[in-house]
Amino acid sequence: MPAAPAQAFARCPDRLGLYPVLPTAEWVERVVGFGVKTVQLRRKSAEPADELKREIARCVAAGREHDAQVFINDHWQAALEAGAYGVHLGQEDLHTADLSALAMAGIRLGLSTHGFYEILKALHFRPSYIALGAVFPTTTKVMPTAPQGLKRLARYVHLLDGVVPLVAIGGIDLQVLPDVLATGVGCAAVVRAVTEAADPAAAVSALQHAFAQ
């Protein structure tokens, strides 16, 4: 494995709450406008480069305007240039991203994991949070492993609580969110529960309410 940066990544709040993962800057602007404090831009393509940079700049600006924590998925170089709050990377990105540059800039790092081995690998890099997934089957991306399920999620929370902030991700919607939160995890990432909702503002409000129970 690559060496971990000499400087640990800045820590996120232990309980990040609702964490919508969104496809465009327009979505990011809408959702932080609803009062959500942690969001992620997951833009599939890096092309065209100028458009990507404009999208990321809009997301960074929206985060600052609404005092929200905006993470950029994958595109760490553009995020670094834009002064983003955070970057979310997959395991495969650990061998190519300049983690030291990100850590030195104070950018938070979230890492995807899909089981115990990848959790151990992620902990080596002292990230700002670890995402645990996929909890349930998901159609938003092809997953390398079978769904983790609630029992395994609860086991991860028991082992890692107080060590690093945790994010549950994968197939989470309003119906299953109470069961996810019952494991003790302090954050749940959602995609379709917001982006495919008939009324995104109402959907966000209902999801936020589940965290307040």
Calpha distance 110→99 (Å, rounded):
11
pLDDT of residue 95: 93
pLDDT of residue 142: 73
Angle between helix axes 25-33 and 200-212 (nearest 10 degrees) is: 50
Percent helix, strand and coil across the chain, each to the nearest 5: 40, 15, 40
pLDDT of residue 138: 82
User: What domains appear along the chain, each with residue ranges and CATH number?
Assistant: 17-212 (3.20.20.70)
Calpha distance 159→150 (Å, rounded):
14
- Whether residue 89 contacts residue 76, with contact meaning beta carbons closer than 8 Å, is answered with yes
How much is the pTM?
0.96
pLDDT of residue 150: 98
pLDDT digit of tens for each residue in the chain (213 aa)?
A: 889 999 999 999 999 999 999 999 999 999 999 999 999 999 988 888 999 999 999 999 999 999 999 999 999 999 999 999 999 999 999 999 999 999 999 999 999 999 999 999 999 999 999 999 999 998 777 776 789 999 999 999 999 999 999 999 999 999 999 999 999 999 999 999 999 999 999 999 999 999 998
Sign for the CA dihedral angle at 42, 186, 205, 174 comes to positive
Residue with tokens 């092809």: 142
pLDDT of residue 47: 83
pLDDT of residue 78: 96
Calpha distance 23→55 (Å, rounded):
10
Instruction: Write out the binding residues for Mg(2+).
Output: 74, 93
Instruction: Write out the binding residues.
Output: 40-44, 73-74, 93, 112, 138-141, 171
Instruction: Write the DSSP assignment of 44-98 as a string of letters.
Output: S---SHHHHHHHHHHHHHHHHHHT-EEEEES-HHHHHHHT-SEEEE-GGGGGTS-
